[in-house]
Amino acid sequence: MANFTSNRYDVVVCGAGPAGLMAACTLGRLTSGTRRILLLDKKEPWKEPIFCAEAVSKDRLNALWPVDNSFVRGSLSGIYFTSPKRYRAEFYSKDCGLILDRAKFHHSLSDGCVSAGVECRYDALIKKLEKAEDGWNLSVSVGGEIETLFAEAVIDATGPSCRLTREIECLKGIESGDTDLEPAIFAVADGIEHSKEHIELFFGSEFESGYGWIFPRDGKEVNIGFVLGKDVDHKVPLRQKLLDFIARDYPNAKVKAVYGGMIACGQSTKPMAKCGLFKAGDAASCVNPISRSGIVESLLCGRIVAESVREWLGDSGMNRSAIEAKVLDRWMAALGKKHLQVAHAKVGFNKISDKQFDRAAFKLSKLPREKQTLFRIFFNVLWAAPSLIWKMRSFLR
């Protein structure tokens, strides 16, 4: 117990990304210090690199976590939709979004955890998770020393693939975060001409079953990258494909660093909780399947899971299985059903040809900014490919 205040906890939260931080903070606030809650990660959540484009909806974020200028890089007022021939349509809405400084944002969430009475350890590697008679045993390494901790309930927010929960008999069939893992890569670069208040998205066969992007950062640097479908045959390594894209379109760019990873964007209907273990964030595949956005989605998922765990802890045991089963229902009601609809539409959207994207973007680019609404942009892309309208009807609802 040398590294921790106790060896027994009511809840251990594994993973200090947005979902884990939000779950721990929410649970701490809901229980008002009456429960022992431990948050674990192998590194401080504000340590770079943080693999994300950092853009969020201002209103959606503010509904979950009060927006503070201390963790905001800048405001967004629009999106450029760019076709293969570089025709550009613009959606404009003043101050509709934010570019976050994820490191500072995570610091804010972590401070909220501490204020809520959560014990936070950001130097702890979880080596093994085992089911015990009345909870879970966790083998945790801190500074090379292994300690065994007990938790009545565990929240797994460790990201996609969920290595932590594999091969555990009672968790068979639980959400694993790997239904649709897509490869993504991006560079932090400067010397790229861009709008400080716009995201630019690139569509077409160059970014097969995905899209490319430029996200502003601090006025000089940008995040430039792309995501591809999971089944795309990579003819060249992703890193080389990214560097070739930058060199061709932005020859004056200076690449400072390149990062890659997998995005868990395959919403499923698998259970999110079993046997006192609850999934949250990427571990629960909560990312939007088409936009691949996940910050606000993870915060919402973390909050829903925390509310469910609070209810689960307060139950004598008779209804705990029912409470676990309802976690998926709560997520589906909040966002999951929309994600399933989007996932069905994704197949059709990926079939839109370069010619169809070019035709739609060219037509839209001739309209005044105020008439380039999201609906008009989407409708024109569909109109360029009328066979897709029926397939994507659920996306319009």
- Of 393 and 342, the structure prediction assigns the larger pLDDT to 342
CA distance 386 to 348: 11
Residue-wise pLDDT tens digits, 43-57: 999 986 666 778 898
Q: How far is CA 106 from CA 109, 227, 238, 291, in A?
A: 5, 24, 28, 22
Find tokens 């609809």 and name the residue: 341
Total residue count of the chain as it appears in this document: 397
CB within 8 A of 207, min separation 6: which ones? Answer: 226, 227, 228
Q: What local confidence, expressed as pLDDT, does residue 349 receive?
A: 79
pLDDT class for 387, splitting at 50, 70, 90?
A: very low
Whether 38 and 121 have beta carbons less than 8 Å apart is answered as yes
Q: Is the pLDDT of residue 34 over 50?
A: yes
Whether 377 and 94 have beta carbons less than 8 Å apart is answered as no
Strand 181-190 relative to strand 145-156: parallel, antiparallel, unpaired? Answer: unpaired
Q: What local confidence, expressed as pLDDT, does residue 230 receive?
A: 87
CA distance 98 to 65: 13
Domains of the chain: 8-48+104-179+265-347 (3.50.50.60), 181-262 (3.30.9.10), 348-396 (no CATH)
CA distance 381 to 390: 13
Using a pLDDT cut of 90, give the percent of the chain over it: 65
Name the token pair of 115: 């204020």
Point out which residues pair with 98 in neighbouring strands: 56, 75
Consecutive H or E run containing 13: strand 8-14
CA distance 298 to 150: 26
Q: What local confidence, expressed as pLDDT, does residue 389 receive?
A: 40
Find tokens 């809650």 and name the residue: 37
CA distance 5 to 365: 61
Q: What local confidence, expressed as pLDDT, does residue 49 receive?
A: 62
What DSSP designation does 71 have? G
Q: What local confidence, expressed as pLDDT, does residue 330 receive?
A: 98
Whether 356 and 316 have beta carbons less than 8 Å apart is answered as no
Q: How far is CA 319 from CA 107, 190, 196, 297, in A?
A: 36, 55, 52, 28
Least confident of 101-105, 114-118, 317-321, 370-374: 370-374
Find tokens 């091969």 and name the residue: 167
How many helices (H) does the chain have, and how many strands (E)? 10, 16
Q: Is the pLDDT of residue 157 over 90?
A: yes
Q: What local confidence, expressed as pLDDT, does residue 51 receive?
A: 63
Residue-wise pLDDT tens digits, 189-240: 999 999 999 999 999 999 999 899 999 998 899 999 999 988 888 889 999 9
Q: At what angle do helices 18-31 and 295-313 cross, to 10 degrees?
A: 40
CB within 8 A of 23, min separation 6: which ones? Answer: 13, 155, 157, 280, 302, 303, 305, 306, 309
CA distance 211 to 254: 22
Point out which residues pair with 171 in neighbouring strands: none
What DSSP designation does 261 have? E
Q: What local confidence, expressed as pLDDT, does residue 395 receive?
A: 35
